[in-house]
Structure 1
C-alpha cells in the first residue's frame, strides 16, 4: 500500500490551506464538517490574515505549524500550488488534496501550471490527489473533506471521476438503508496519484470489503489491470466505464484494429482481470452492496425458497436468462422439507412453502437451513414477502419474524454459502428486514436485481479461481529465425509483412501453416503440382500496398490445372494494377485450398492504453458486420484463452450444428497461446490478423495472415 495514501485517508492531522471565516468557502466548510463529525485528529487552519478561525488558532503558513501534518487540503487558486507544495516538502507532509481547477483543461497556460505543480510535488515527495477534485472522506476516521452530509458508514470504497456520481451513491444508500461507505476519493485530473494506486489502497484497506470505480478514462490502463488482477483475489472491484460510444484509438488498418473499439475492449479486459463491469449506472450500488456482503460461493448452483408462485417464476426466468444453474435438491433435502411444510407445498427447486410460513415465519429459517445444508446447493435466494408477515397477516408475528431474521443472518457464516433476500416490503423497511441488512444480508425489492447480483457474484468467484489457478504465460524471447524474418521486413523499409513472410514467422512459434509457394512469373506455376500437389488451389496477390486482397480482385479460389493457374495468375495481376496502378506487386501466393470448417479470426493489436491485446471471434468477410468478438490482454493464461472462446455469442457454432462435428478447441487454444507468444516476443509488430482461420474437428488451417509493424519497426 502507498504509505502516502494511507497517511491521507487515515490522517491524524489535517491542515486547511485557504481556511476562511466565510461560511460559503470550502476552507470554512471543511473545518465545520470535520468538527461536526467528531474528527479526533488535529486541525490546522492556514491563513496569513487570521489568528483564529471557528475557534481554532490559525497559522500564517504550513511551516509555522510545529506538529506533524499528515495531509494538506489546499483550497487556494492553481497558481499558488507550487509554492505550497514546496512548504509541504520542507514540513515532510506526505500528501495534499488539491481542489483547484484551471489546469490542462483550460489550455497552454493551465498546462504550464499543471507541469509546475507536478514538478514541485515530485521534488518534495508529496503525493497529490487531484487537482480539480471535490475531496476525500474516510468515515471510519471521521474525516470528511468533501462536505457531503449524512453519509452512511459501511464497507464500500468509492473512487470516482465524477463528484455527482458519488452524490448519487450517497443519496441512494441513505434511501435504501443497510449500505454504506468506508472511503471516497474524487480523482480529479489524476496529475499524480493514478487509479491503479487508489485500487491498491482499497485492496489493502481492512475497512473496505469492495470498491467501486466510476471511470471516464484511464491514464495507465495496463497498471490498473495488473493491480486489479491482484486485488480481486482478496475482494471484489466494481467498475463502471462511461464513454461506451467512443471510437477506438487504434487505426483501422486491419479487421482487428477496426473492431478494437474502446468500450468493448475495456469491458473484456477488466473482466479478465477479475473486475465486475456494470453497464447500467442504477445497478452499480446494488451490485457493489451484494458483492461486499455475500460470501464467495464455491459453485454456481442456486436454490430458491419462495412464499408465492409469481416471484418464484420471475426469479427462475431471470436466472435462466442470466445463464445461472438451478440446484437440484437431494432426496434427503426434499424429504426434510416435506416434513416441515404443508402437503400443498412444492419441495423441489424452486421451493414454494404454500402458506407454510404465514402464521409461523420461523419456518423460513428451518427451510433455509435445510436447503443450505444440501451439498448440491451453493447459493440460496429467499423470494417473496419475507419481512412483512406481521404487517400482512398478524402484528403479533413481529417478534417471531425478528428472531427469524436473526437466525437467517447466522446461516451464511455457518454453512459458508451466500444468502440473498428479495422482499416486496423492502422499501417500507420493517424491523425484520432492517435486522437482516444490519447483519449483512442484502435485500432487494425485485427479483431481477437480486439475480443480477447473484450472477455477478458467481462470475467474480469463477474469475478469482481462474486467475489463481491458471498462470499468465510469458515467452522466453524471440527465436533467431523470427528475428531474421522481422529484420528482412524492416530492412526493406516496409511497415507490412507479405503474407508468406507472416506465415513463415508463425511457423517459428509452432503454428501449423499449409504449404505455400510464391509465384513471381508464370513459369513458376509449373512447380505447383510438384510442391503443392494436384488438388484445387487458392491464389492471392502479394503486395504491401494491397492489404484487403478480395476488395482488389486479388483472390482466386478452387483453381485446378496449369491453364487455370495461368489464367488466374494473369487476372489477379491485372485486377491489382487496376485497383492501384502504383502498387508494388511482388507476385502471387499459391496454396492448397483448405478443407471446410468454421471460419474464425484471431488477431493482436497494441492498444495505446492497455498494450498488447488479443481478439477472437467468428471470421470471414462478415466479421466487421457481426462484430461477435472477445478480447484479452497479453500475456494471458490458457484459462483466459478458453474463456475467450466461450465469450462470443456464437460459441455454440463451435460445438457443431446440423450434424457437423465440434471443432478441436484444444488445438484452437494452443494456436491462440502461440500467437500470444509471437506477439509478446516481437513488440515491433503493431497488428496481427489471421482471418480466416478454419477450425475443424481435427485441427485448424491458417488461410490468411497479415502483420503490420509499428512506425519504423520500433
Structure 2
C-alpha cells in the first residue's frame, strides 16, 4: 500500500484525463498549475477532440502515450470511470485521482456506479484516491493537483475529508509564515484507499514530520488505530474529529451501550493509539507546528524565561490548569543566572529578567543556555516581548537581536530539548521573529496556545513511551468452562445471559465473584443459609426479558431469614409480572450483601467502527447522568487500564475523600484486564455491563453483571 501511494504522491509523470482548453475546467487548471510551479515530471493531456492544450501535445487515450505513467488525474464524469480504469490498468498506471461526484451521495444510480468503479480498480490493480476529492499535492515534488495558490513546502502533511479545511490551514500558514506542507490528500469517498492507508504513507514519508488529519468518519476504524499506534512511535499524528455528537451507532440496551455513542469514545481510542486529538479547529495548525518542529522531551518539567511579570503569570496559570509540572531550577543554575541578571530579577521559575535584556538582547540567549543546561528542565518557554527590542527601544539593537535569534534557534538541538517562544511581536513578524521561525522555532502570539502546544507535546511523549513499554495483552483463547456456558445460551436461542451465568463466565476467567444461589421456586430458599450463610442478602429477579431489574421492582436488599426471603421472593415476582406480564421469569438470584465501597462500572461494547471497546467510570444509578467515563480499544495494555482509572474527572474519589480509605487500584486493574480477556476470547458477546462493581481497599465485589450476545450468537 505504501509503495502504491509513494508512487502516486511522488509521481514522475501525470496523465490529465479530461484535459480541456476551457480555463474554468479542472482539466485545464491542473495543467496550468503543474507548468507554472515547474513540475519536472512529464504531463500528458488526454482529450480525443484536441491536438494541443496549453502547448502540450494531447492524446486520445492513455493507451496512446508511448511512456510510463505514474498517476492519472481523472476529470471526467462518474459514469465514465469503469472504462477509464480499464484503460489505466492496461497501461499499468498504479494510481488514479478521481474528482467526480455523483456516487452514493447523489445520483440515484450512484451506488451501482461506485461498485462498478471499485471492481474495475481492483481488477486492474489501480489504486483510487476519491472519488469526490478535490485532489492532492506534493509540494516537494512541485505536483499541485489541487490548484491552491501560495502554499509553501514544509514538513506538515494534511489528509482531509474537507477541501475547505485544507484551504483554511493553508491560508493560516501563509498569514503566520515560517511553516509549510509536505503533501495533501483529499480523501473523498474512500472508495478504495482509506484513512489508514494515508496514515501509513505519511508515517513512512521522510518529508512529513507531523501528519494532520481532519476526519468526519472512519470506514476502517480499527485499521486506523493499529496504524496510528505504529506511526506515533516515529512521529506525532494530529487529528481533528468533526461530527463529535456520535462516534458510532450502538444499540442502547445497557448503560455501556448508551454511553458508547459519544465523541468521548473516539477521543479515548485515538489517544490510546498515541494520537494528539485537537478539539478546536483554530488550534490545529499551532499544535501541528510545534509538534512537527520540536524534539520529543524526555520529561514534562517546564521552565519559563520571561521579560515581564504579566505574561509569566498568565503562562504559569495556563500550565497549572493543563496539569504541567513547573521545573525546579538547581542552585547552580540560579547562581549562574544571578551573574547575568540585575538584582531585581526573579531567579526562580518563572525567571523574570526584570529589564536585564532591554539594552542587550543577547542576555536572553545566555539565560536560555543556562536554563536548558539544567538537568531539572525538560522544556523551555521564552515568554514576553522577545523579537521586539529593536522595535520598542532602539533600532540599533536589531543586529544584536538577530544574532541572539540565531543563538536561540541552535539551543534546542544543542541540548535535545524543546524550546518555544511567545512574543507580543509575533503578529508583526519582525526580523528577529522571522529568523526564529525560519530556523524551526515555534513562535506564538499568546501564552495559552504555547502552553497547549507544550502540554500536547508532553502528552505525546508520554503516550509514545507508554505504548513502547506496555504491550497489548491478548488472551490465550476461550477457556473450556466459558465455551460450555456460551453453548448453553445459544442452544436456548437467548441473546441475554442470566445474571448468574454472566457471573459464572466471569469466574471462569479469574474474576472474584461473590457466592450466589438461584432459587427457581420459593421452597428453594430453604437451602440459602446452608450455601451462603445467614447474613443479610440481596435478591434479584432473573429474566432475560428484564435487563434493568431496579426499574421493574425486581431488586430487594438487606433481607435476612428464610421467612423474609420468602416474602421478598413473592413480592419480586409480583413486581416483575406487573412490569412485563409476558416476561419469562427464570427465578430469583440470592447473594450476600456486598460491603460498602465506591461503585464503579466496567463495560465492553462492539463499536461498529472500532470493534471491541472497554468503558470505565463511576457506576450506580448516576452513570448516565454524570457520563464521567473513559474508553479504550481492546486489546489493551496494563498501562491503558491504569490510565483509564486516572483519566475520569472523579478519580480522586477512588483515592479516598473526607477520611475515606483509597481503593485497591491494583485489583481494579486486574479486574479490567480479565474482563478484556473474556471479551476478546468471546467476540460473540456484544455487550458486557458490570454495574455496579463495589471497590474497596481490600478488593472488589461484582454486584451486578449483564451480558448480551450479538444477533447471530457467533
Q: TM-score range by the shorter chain?
A: over 0.9
CA contact (8 A) 2:602 2:616 kept: yes
Counterpart in 1 of 2:214? 214
What is the CA distance between 1:246 and its match in structure 2? 2.8
Deviations 1:603-652 (A, max 9, x none): 00000110000000000011000000000000000001111111100011
- Greater mean alpha carbon deviation, residues 602-611 or residues 556-565: 556-565
User: 2:36 matched to 1:44?
Assistant: no
CA contact (8 A) 1:303 1:380 kept: yes
Take 2:249 and 2:341, find their aligned partners in 1: how far apart are those partners?
60
What is the CA distance between 1:351 and its match in structure 2? 0.3
User: 2:471 matched to 1:471?
Assistant: yes
Take 1:7 and 1:201, find their aligned partners in 2: how far apart are those partners?
11
CA contact (8 A) 2:248 2:609 kept: no
What is the CA distance between 1:248 and its match in structure 2? 4.1
Deviations 1:246-285 (A, max 9, x none): 3741010000000002411111000000000001011011
Take 1:146 and 1:301, find their aligned partners in 2: how far apart are those partners?
42
Deviations 1:578-613 (A, max 9, x none): 101111111110000010001000000000110000
Counterpart in 1 of 2:89? 89
What is the CA distance between 1:107 and its match in structure 2? 4.6
CA contact (8 A) 1:151 1:174 kept: yes
Take 1:494 and 1:443, find their aligned partners in 2: how far apart are those partners?
61
What is the CA distance between 1:106 and its match in structure 2? 1.6
User: 2:31 matched to 1:9?
Assistant: no
What is the CA distance between 1:563 and its match in structure 2? 1.7
Take 2:587 and 2:56, find their aligned partners in 1: how far apart are those partners?
84
Deviations 1:468-493 (A, max 9, x none): 00000000110011000000011111
Take 1:522 and 1:125, find their aligned partners in 2: how far apart are those partners?
69
- Superposed, 1:618-657 pairs within 5 Å as 618-657=618-657
User: 2:415 matched to 1:415?
Assistant: yes
Take 2:13 and 2:253, find their aligned partners in 1: how far apart are those partners?
55
User: 2:410 matched to 1:445?
Assistant: no
CA contact (8 A) 2:412 2:418 kept: yes
SS at match of 1:367: helix
After TM superposition, the runs of 4+ consecutive aligned structure 1 residues lying more than 4 A away are none
Counterpart in 1 of 2:586? 586
What is the CA distance between 1:522 and its match in structure 2? 1.7
CA contact (8 A) 1:100 1:132 kept: yes
CA contact (8 A) 1:307 1:352 kept: yes
Counterpart in 2 of 1:235? 235
Counterpart in 2 of 1:566? 566
Take 1:694 and 1:339, find their aligned partners in 2: how far apart are those partners?
59
Counterpart in 2 of 1:544? 544
Counterpart in 2 of 1:53? 53
What is the CA distance between 1:712 and its match in structure 2? 2.8
CA contact (8 A) 1:158 1:185 kept: yes
What is the CA distance between 1:527 and its match in structure 2? 1.3
Take 2:213 and 2:555, find their aligned partners in 1: how far apart are those partners?
49
Counterpart in 2 of 1:380? 380
User: 2:245 matched to 1:245?
Assistant: yes
- Superposed, 1:420-569 pairs within 5 Å as 420-569=420-569
Q: Structure 1 residues 699 and 191, CA, compared in 2 at 3 Å: closer, same or farther?
A: same
User: 2:49 matched to 1:34?
Assistant: no
- Superposed, 1:181-330 pairs within 5 Å as 181-246=181-246, 248-330=248-330
SS at match of 1:302: strand
Unaligned runs of 5+ in 2: none
- Please give the TM-score of this superposition, normalised by the length of structure 1: 0.99
Take 2:621 and 2:425, find their aligned partners in 1: how far apart are those partners?
54
CA contact (8 A) 1:493 1:712 kept: no
CA contact (8 A) 1:249 1:262 kept: no
- Please give the TM-score of this superposition, normalised by the length of structure 2: 0.99
CA contact (8 A) 2:248 2:608 kept: no
Counterpart in 2 of 1:709? 709
CA contact (8 A) 1:490 1:712 kept: no
Counterpart in 1 of 2:344? 344
CA contact (8 A) 2:86 2:124 kept: yes
Counterpart in 2 of 1:333? 333
SS at match of 1:615: strand
Take 2:673 and 2:263, find their aligned partners in 1: how far apart are those partners?
24
CA contact (8 A) 2:247 2:265 kept: no
Take 1:247 and 1:214, find their aligned partners in 2: how far apart are those partners?
15
SS at match of 1:408: helix
Take 2:364 and 2:236, find their aligned partners in 1: how far apart are those partners?
30
Counterpart in 2 of 1:123? 123
SS at match of 2:4: helix
Unaligned runs of 5+ in 1: none
- Superposed, 1:170-189 pairs within 5 Å as 170-189=170-189
Take 1:482 and 1:8, find their aligned partners in 2: how far apart are those partners?
49
SS at match of 1:239: strand
CA contact (8 A) 1:34 1:144 kept: yes
SS at match of 1:688: strand
Counterpart in 1 of 2:153? 153
Take 1:62 and 1:289, find their aligned partners in 2: how far apart are those partners?
40
What is the CA distance between 1:434 and its match in structure 2? 0.6
Take 2:62 and 2:521, find their aligned partners in 1: how far apart are those partners?
81
Take 2:532 and 2:4, find their aligned partners in 1: how far apart are those partners?
66
Take 2:62 and 2:425, find their aligned partners in 1: how far apart are those partners?
54
SS at match of 1:106: coil
What is the CA distance between 1:57 and its match in structure 2? 0.8
User: 2:46 matched to 1:63?
Assistant: no
SS at match of 1:622: helix
SS at match of 1:683: coil
Take 2:493 and 2:71, find their aligned partners in 1: how far apart are those partners?
54
Take 2:352 and 2:2, find their aligned partners in 1: how far apart are those partners?
51
